[in-house]
Amino acid sequence: MNETKASSLTGIPVAILFVLLFVGCAALFFYGGAHNVLPAIVAAVLVFATVLFLCKGFFQVQPNQGMVMLLFGRYAGTAREMGLRWTNPFLSKRAVSLRVRNFESSKLKVNDADGNPIEIAAVIVWQVVDTAEAVFQVDDYENYVHIQSESALRQMAQSYPYDSHEDDKPSLRSHGDEITAHLRDQIQERLGKAGVKVLEARISHLAYAPEIAQAMLQRQQAGAIIAARTRIVEGAVSMVEMALRQLSQQNIVELDEERKAAMVSNLLVVLCGERGTQPVLNTGTLYQG
């Protein structure tokens, strides 16, 4: 069931007309009473009662609000025109907010793609775009949004690892844009039938579960140390290679293979060591033992 436009009139002119009818009924009633004209009194009472009943057709529509109309249980359309409106008094009305709303899910404890227990929560920004689907397709669309959003978040968290050790593999911690787009699409797929549009969905909390947090922290620290050491060794080897090449090209000194090996060992110790090295001066020749 899709939303359709309800038939309604601008309320101010109708209200002025009803006021005039009330005044006319009062005048007719007093005229009939003064001159003992029973038909005039009866007519005044009937018109007054009819106009009073027709006043039930007045309703107000606030900005970013839709008024869903029902005629004896049958959907009769939605009024979105702001201000005072008037319609069939037999219609029942239900206001539906069209404003942008948001909520933060509870912290869910799930297993990521690697089987590690994690805690995750998200902020969902949503808006009703079809009032008929929101009211008639689901029992309580607000509760439906909350439950289905958390279900989509749980499924998304199980599809990615918390952290990836491969640069081209997406993870919850490193690929924020891709994860956000996936989460938004997953929630929108579930909420589309309820007339709801998901404007944004972002992870607001992401952490390892407490029982493995310390072990995973040590693992991350070890990975960082290994990565740093790898970069240091790569840089040191490059510098040693450059030093040997320049010494050879500029004919500064001729080194045999044994001396080259000793020089490489010394340079690597200097470049890769964590502490500052103490220089040892050789007061003899280069080839003295």
Q: State whether 64 and 134 are in the same domain.
A: no
Where in the sequence is the domain holding 125, given as residue range(s)? 101-208
pLDDT of residue 285: 54
Q: What is the pLDDT of residues 155-190, one digit of tens each?
A: 999 988 887 766 677 888 878 788 899 999 999 999
Tell me the pLDDT band of 207, cut-offs 50, 70 and 90.
confident
Kindly state whether residues 80 and 136 are assigned to the same domain.
no
Same domain? For 147 and 235 the reply is no
Rounded average pLDDT over 70-86: 94
Number of other CB atoms surrounding residue 203 within 10 Å: 19
> What token pair was written down for 263?
């020089």
How many structural domains is the chain composed of? 3
The residue-averaged pLDDT of 79-87 equals 94
Residue 122, beta-bridge partner list:
203
Better-predicted residue by pLDDT, 252 or 53: 53
240 and 181 within one domain: no
Pairwise CA distance, residues 194 & 163, whole Å: 34
Look up residue 39 and give its two tokens: 């038909």
Which carries the bigger pLDDT value, residue 222 or residue 102?
Answer: 102
Distance of CA 101 to the CA centre of its chain: 10
Q: What is the mean pLDDT of residues 234-258?
A: 72
Residue holding tokens 């001066």?
A: 281
* pLDDT for res 35: 82
Same domain as 152, residue 77: no
Q: Give the confidence band of 256 by pLDDT, cuts at 50, 70, 90.
A: low
Residue 52 and residue 64 in one domain: yes
Q: Are residues 225 and 251 in the same domain?
A: yes
Over the chain, what is the mean pLDDT? 84
CATH of the domain at 148: 3.30.479.30
Is 184 found in the same domain as 252? no
Mean pLDDT computed over 117-126: 93
* pLDDT bracket for residue 281 (50, 70, 90): very low
Same structural domain for residues 107 and 177? Answer: yes
Domain boundary among 69, 97, 125: 97
- Calpha distance 194→105 (Å, rounded): 19
Of the candidate ranges 177-186, 191-200, 220-229, 239-248, the one whose mean pLDDT is the lowest: 220-229
Q: Are residues 90 and 138 in the same domain?
A: no
pLDDT at 274: 60
Same-domain check for residues 90 and 107 = no
